[in-house]
Amino acid sequence: MAEITEQLRAELSEALRQGDADKAEALTRQALDGGADPLEVIQGIIVPALTEVGQLFQEFKIFLPELMLAGEAAKRATAILEEAIAASGQASASLGTVVIGTVENDVHDIGKNIVSTLLSSHGFKVVDLGRDVAPSAFLDAALKEQADIVAMSSLMTTTRPSQRSTINLFKEVGEREKFKIIVGGGSVNQQWADEIGADGYAADAAAAVELCKSLIQVS
C-alpha cells in the first residue's frame, strides 16, 4: 500500500470538516487510485476529522447543519472505502453495529439523529430505524443486522416506558444476552437506565459514542 501524501490527507480532512461531500468523495477515490490503504484512510483521516467536528458541535462552536453535512460527506467517503475493503477481502473497518431508534409513540428524533451521525463518523455501522419504533421492530432489526448494540431514545416521560417494554421483549424471547442495550434522551437518566436493566446510559451524543466504544470492548 502507498503512503497518502500530506497534501491529500489535509485536503480530504478539510473537505470532511467543511461537509463538502462531492470533494470528499473525489479525494477518497484519488487516494485509492494512488494505492492508499482504505483502512488507513478511515482510521487516519475520516475518524479524526469527524471526531474534531463532533467536538466542535459539543462545544456549540458549530451547529447541527454543519454536523449533518460533515456526517454526510464522511458517509459517502466511507461507502467507497468499505467497497474497496470488501473487494480486497480485508475485514470490515466497522467498530460494530448499532441499531438505533426513538421509541414507540415518540416522534422526537433530533437527538437520536445526532447520536446516529456521531456513531457513524466514529466508525460504527449504524442501522437507524427512525422514530416511533415498536419493541418488536428493535428486536427484528437487532437479529437481522446481528447488532452489537441496541440504542433507544425517548424525549418524554410518557414515552420512556417503551424502553422498558423493549428490554422486556428481548428477555421474553431469550435474546437479551446477545445485545448490549443502551438508552438516552431528555426523559432518561442513569437511575431510569438501572431500573429497567439497560446496559448503559449516555447524557449526550459524545457520551453515547464513548459508551458504545466501551461496551464493544467489553463484549
Partner 1 sequence: MQTNWLVEIVKRSENGPFMKEPDFEMALAKRTAELVREYGLKFDPQVPIPSDDDMADRLYQAGLDLFVEMGVYNQTTERCIKFTRDETEEIVGTALNAVVLGTGKDAVVMRHRGVESDIPCVVHSGPTGTPCTERYHPLILLSCAQEPLVDCLGAGSVSTYMGQAIIPGSPTEILGARRDAAVAREAVRKAGRPGMHINDVAVPLTCAGKMAAIDQDSGLRTSDAVLVSQMVELKTDYDQLSRVAHLKSVGMHIVDLMTPLIGGLGGGAEGTAVVTIACHILGVVLYSASYHMMSHTHLRWVNNTDRMGLWMQSMVAQALSRNTPIVLLNDIYTVSGPGTAELLWEVAAGAVTGTVSGMNQQGAGTTGGFNADHTTGLEARFIAEVAHASLGLTREEANGYALEFLKHYEDTFDNPNRGYPFPELYDEETVEPKEQWLEIYHEVRDAIIALGLDLDGGWRKVRHG
Residue (51 or 189) nearer to partner 1, CB? 189
> Given the rule CB under 8 A, which residues bind partner 1?
60, 63-66, 68-69, 72, 105-108, 110, 156-159, 161, 186-187, 189, 204
CB of 145 to partner 1, least distance (A): 20
Q: Which one from 108, 122, 128, 154 is the annotated catalytic residue?
A: 108
Q: What φ, ψ does residue 194 adopt, rounded to 5°?
A: -65, -45
126 within 8 A of 98, measured Cβ to Cβ: yes
Is 122 annotated in the active site? no
Q: Which one from 13, 153, 154, 162 is the annotated catalytic residue?
A: 162
CB of 47 to partner 1, least distance (A): 23
C-alpha separations of 99 from 7, 62, 128, 155, 181 in Å: 36, 27, 6, 18, 10
Whole-angstrom Cα distance, residue 32 to residue 28?
6
Residue (32 or 68) nearer to partner 1, CB? 68
Closest among 215, 209, 152 to 186, alpha carbons compared: 152
Residue (10 or 203) nearer to partner 1, CB? 203
Q: Which one from 106, 109, 128, 148 is the annotated catalytic residue?
A: 106
Active site (catalytic) residues: 106, 108, 162
